[in-house]
Structure 1
Amino acid sequence: MDTLFTFAFWGSVLCLAYAYAGYPMVVALLAKRCGDAVESAQREREDLPMITVLVAAYNAEQHLPKRIENILACDYPSDRLRILIASDGSTDRTVAIVHEFNDRRITAIDFVQRRGKSATMVDAVESIDSPVIVFTDVTTRFDSQSLNRLARHFANPDIGLVTGQVAIVDENGMPSESTYWKMEMMVRRCEAKLGIMLGTSGAIYAIRRSMFVTPTRPTINDDMVLPMLVHLTHRCQFVLDPSARAYATGGKDIRAEFDRRSRIGIGAFQCLPVMHELWRWKNRTTCAAFVSHKLLRWTGPFLLATAFVSNVHLFPHASYKWLFALQIFAYSAALYGFVSSPGTFFARFTRVASSFVVMNAAIGIGILRWMRHPDTVTWNPTSRSSWDAVAVANDSQSQKRAA
């Protein structure tokens, strides 16, 4: 029996270590051997394509006016820009706000029944005839050059997908990116250099309209499913352009972030049957990366639980007493980071542990919710900080370029 628990303990620990440390190091080393994926595609072109910026919204009257103003303020030819607001059964003034702009470039589709963001976007795409569609969220703000930098890559007919980079800011407009988010962005950049597409942020990405693939069923994690379907189905090239920036604020509190992570857990296993192309031999590299980067992290809550329970059983052995003490210390640090005030060095250190534990707990609860209700596709938007923070960040970047 001890052999079984020993295998369970070390198997769980090694899987976690590989998912969060080993895989990032592997892709970073491999990416160093590749050239800059963005430079090869940065071919300026005088005639930018017609684009439609698609925003799926549910009861978004608080954020929608400034979101539309931000898109209109982007440095993109006005005669080649369209904005489509797809209302997912909104019961507030979301659709009325669109009409108040009285701008022919801005249209709205009012879907009466609430069916979830994914289904809303897929149906909205059917009404779009521009060659490029830019997907974004209502609680995001673009840098003034973002649309230009996304669209220019489509001069290359082999490119079907372009993604940007999201910067997280706090209420004062200052960078507020967690250690996890910084590592995640690094891994995505390395994967892009290696030609691996595992989804993107829903805040900013663009798809060639002719390559859009309708999923067989709606999912919550649309920002992973839609880009991956394009890449896997057409085996097209894609670009991650860090200069195409979007700004977003984090959740207002730990509950908001917990709900967001829990939503990721709900959608985690919804996507597996939808992306059937992923499991084909021709996509074996992407499949291996998906297991390493996504699947192992989604199973993280259960790996942590397995490591803890097996360690309890192995506690009589001297070496495992120290390992158990290490686990208790780590969870105690996470608890301290959860309840302490930020500022001290120790508090900042323990907040890393706290964020890790909270993230895995939220994903685990999300997966359990998925097991009970596998067809869940609707969710309430994350409560976020003020738009002013995003405005400050955007203005700051513009001033830096001007200088």
Structure 2
Amino acid sequence: MTAIEFIFIAVLFLSVYSYVVYPLFLGVLAKLFRRQWNKGDCSPAVTIIISAYNEEKDIEEKVKNSFLLDYPQDKLEIIVSSDGSDDRTNEIVTRIKDQRLILREFTGRLGKTACLNKVIPDAKGEIVVFTDANSMFAPDMLTHLVRNFYDPDIGAVSGWTKYCNPDSGEETTGLYAKLEKKTKLDESMVSSCVGADGAIFAIRKELYIPLGPNDINDFIIPLNVVKQRKRVILDENIFCIEETTRGIKNIYSRQVRITTRTAWAIRRNIDLLNVFKYGSFSFLLLSHKVLRLLTPFFLLSAFVLNMFILLKSPFYVVTLAGQFLFGLTGLLALLGFGSGSLVSICKYFLVTFAAQFVGCLRMTIGLEDIVWTPKR
């Protein structure tokens, strides 16, 4: 085997590692080195923070949904953190009369994390729950959530998002979201899950460290918890319900923003890759986030190298044909041709890889995202 062939095999392996090899290997690790945590009945004071920007369409339903949670009324506080909303969001919240509800109204666009830095110090709950205005909870969500904090080693708890069709109510959670959920469940059993679901996660207030203005809160907050030697876990009993994101353009824009902020977060927390200091979590972070963000670059390298070694073996003809087929199927799907699960998967991952490529480049040249407008 020549050097170029060896490099090709290596980058081809890395191209599928984060999405295929790592989840399979992690599943084995989760069974061999299962670190369960203790759950127990407890009722700590809880503050739910609803981050909002121009959410007049959803904010009333969200607040009322929070009131319906099966939890002691005297131990529940709900804060709407309104980041410069200039629609009817603040007016709607003000009209709702309930002593558990507080509106924190900020003028101008500060950014979600800057608002959290101002809101959390005044929160009365020892457990702080982060959520969005369009994310709805089941009545028993808090009961399941706080049971995890019975264990003193648990510093943060994430749930997951169940996506549903707004017209039929049918669940539409995609393959990528299901893969993320399974991966984080297994990571929780090995050490700590890498990141949380921004629509539904919670921490012990005492572990909150103020964020930088461009920090991605559902990634940095869990990383800060790990740095304080506490575990971050995902509980599959905790979920919220959201409408499916509509439109490839919205999905692409969201992925570019998330990738840019995640790449910055990894760059600023590169010390977490020190396996001698953070043990198995360093391996999880490298596999789940770092190598995943680099996947588009591995794919591009594999394609170029494949062209140079094409005639050396029929195997390389097959690998090149597979890459062409993936790309062509995804492009045709974007143009409206083809249907079925396989076609949808090719389309989604093509958009995801394009967004990751652009997001990583944006971080490399110094571009950052502090505020954005949610697409509903």
Does TM, scored on the shorter chain, surpass 0.5? yes
The answer to whether the 8 Å contact 1:42/1:153 transfers is: yes
Query: What is the SS of the residue equivalent to 2:310?
Result: coil
Deviation readout 1:221-254 (Å, 9 max, x if unpaired)? 221111121122x212344221122112221111
Unaligned runs of 5+ in 1: 384-403
Identify the residue that residue 203 of structure 1 maps to in structure 2: 199
Select the residue among 127, 133, 136 that pairs with 2:131. Answer: 136
Residues 182-191 or 363-372, more deviating: 363-372
- Which amino acid in structure 2 is aligned with residue 230 of structure 1? V
Aligned to 2:258: 264
Equivalent residues, number? 373
TM-score of the two chains, using structure 2 as the length reference: 0.92
**In the aligned structure 2, how far is the partner of 1:250 from the partner of 1:121?**
26
Deviations 1:97-132 (A, max 9, x none): 211102221111122131221222122112213211
| Cα distance between partner residues in 2 of 1:332 and 1:147 | 45
Give the whole-Å Cα distance in 2 for the aligned partners of 1:279 and 1:17.
21
**Pair 1:108-2:107 in alignment:** no
Do structure 1's residue 301 and structure 2's residue 300 form an aligned pair? no
2:39 counterpart letter in structure 1: Q
For 1:305 and 1:239, locate their aligned partners in 2 and report how far apart those are by CA, in whole Å.
34
Q: Does 1:359 align with 2:352?
A: yes
Match of residue 43 from structure 1: 40
2 CA distance for matches of 1:223 and 1:251? 19
User: Would you say 1:11 and 2:10 are equivalent positions?
Assistant: yes
Instruction: For 2:232 and 2:317, locate their aligned partners in 1 and report how far apart those are by CA, in whole Å.
Output: 49
Q: Which amino acid in structure 2 is aligned with residue 272 of structure 1? A: I
AA partner of residue 28 (structure 2): L
Unaligned runs of 5+ in 2: none
Aligned to 2:149, what secondary structure does the other structure show? helix
C-alpha change, 1:7 and 1:88, in structure 2 (3 Å) is farther
Q: Cα–Cα, structure 1 residues 36 and 283, in superposed 2: closer, same or farther, change >3 Å? A: closer
Give the residue type in structure 1 aligned to 2:240: A
CA distance in 2 between counterparts of 1:165 and 1:214 reads 24
- Among 373, 376, 399, the alignment partner of 2:369 is 376
SS at 1:41 equivalent: coil
State how 1:115-264 maps to structure 2 within 5 Å. 115-171=110-166, 172-215=168-211, 217-232=212-227, 234-264=228-258
Distance 1:3-1:119 versus aligned 2 partners, 3 A rule: farther
Q: Give the Å deviation of 1:7.
A: 4.3
Report the RMSD for the aligned CA atoms in angstroms: 2.1
Letter in 2 for 1:365: V
Paired amino acid for 2:354: A
Query: Cα offset for 1:373?
Result: 4.4
CA distance in 2, matches of 1:271, 1:308: 29
The aligned residue for residue 289 of structure 1 is 284
Letter in 1 for 2:235: D
